[in-house]
Amino acid sequence: MAAGNKDHQGSKKRRPVVHQEKGAALVGVMMTMLVLTLLGTSAFIQSAAELKVSSNYSQSLEALYAAEAGLQELLASYRQNPSSFLRKQTGADMNLPVNDPGRSFYNGTTYWIKELHYDAQEVPGYVEVIIYGRDRGQTSLARLRATLSCSQGGGTTDLPSVFKMGIVSAGRIELNGPIEIAGTLHANRGVYLDQPSVADPLKRFEMIITQSLDPLRSDYLPPMEVPVISDQAFQNLRSSAQQKGNQILFGEQNLVLSGDQKGAVIFVDGQVTLTGTQLSGLTVIATGSITINGSTVLNAQGNLDTVFIAGGNISINEFSQIAGLFWTNGSIITVGAGRLKGAIVCQGSIRQQGGFQFERYDQYSSSSWYSTPSGYSFTVRGWSQI
């Protein structure tokens, strides 16, 4: 009995050792879970911080782009009305935004002109400008300092490269449906393809597409200078229409023409609708909009000698083939199937409804219709972020 009691008491003494081992294992598991939780929390915090940094960077780029776009609008304003520069007008005088909240772009970004300092000379040679821009969420602010210079020139000049690229827009380009394009396409405010499949024909024709809206995209290029048709430029074009064989018309016009027009110039102080059949050798200038129906072709020498210049929109309706140069302060709108050959340069957007076929063509028979706006040229001498 004594021995049995001894064994029984010995077994009782060994049991706490088992409980101690279980307690140590539990502590180890809890410590491991704590370490894993800390690691997970640290990774989450780091990821959130990196996401915030990335978001802040994107917002700052949006704000900077808004300021750049505002600079381009100021430049376009001077080109369209050089007298506003020569008279040293303020941003408010030019109907440009000067206070926050500024003028909003279609994507929600805004800009305003903070300061304008003209050259002290009676006829200024430059102006220093400070422009602010905000991102679409209005959380990031960019400050841009730039110098715009003015030089006097005028007269007929070589065509700027934008008239030989293909399609260039200071606005945006929207394409949908079946398209075939050969040439370069650039839009300062973005290129929008309705369907991803739309890009396939572009790749097949080895077309170059660039845009200035999103600096983070691989197809980004800085905004291009798109010539504006100024009031003085219209006056120069009107003077050329006074020569023998040309016409100056007033009000809304409906024109029906066919064949070779032998280099005639028709200036319309208003809007015009043109119906053409195998038309060539014609320059149509309208202070308002131009609507085109029918067909225009290259001349007998295979050169492009049909030009359309409009202060408003240019609309191209149901057509088989249109060969020409299209230059407008408004937008380009095409409706229906057909093929365009030549060049498009516009301040507004380019919108296509239905099929769109375009081929770049830069063999012009004459560039006498182009002159530097109002005898003055304006350029960005330099800019920096402040």
Domain segments of the chain: what residues?
1-155+373-386, 161-370
Q: How confident is the model at residue 174 (pLDDT cuts 50, 70, 90)?
A: confident
Q: Which of 287, 350, 264 is nearest to 276 (CA)?
A: 264
What's the average model confidence in pLDDT over 310-315? 95
Q: Using a CB cutoff of 8 Å and minimum separation of 24, what contacts does 204-213 make?
A: 205/180, 205/181, 207/181, 207/182, 207/183, 208/184, 209/185, 210/184, 210/185, 210/186, 211/186, 211/187, 212/65, 212/186, 212/187, 212/188, 213/65, 213/107, 213/172, 213/187, 213/188, 213/189
What's the average model confidence in pLDDT over 303-309? 94
Is 214 a residue whose pLDDT tops 80? yes
Residue range 19-42, pLDDT digits in tens: 556 566 776 777 777 777 777 777
Is 278 a residue whose pLDDT tops 90? yes
Say if residues 113 and 91 touch (Cβ distance below 8 Å). yes
Is 249 a residue whose pLDDT tops 90? yes
Q: What is the pTM of this model?
A: 0.64
The encoded tokens of residue 193 equal: 């393809």
CA distance 8 to 210: 90
What's the average model confidence in pLDDT over 373-383? 76
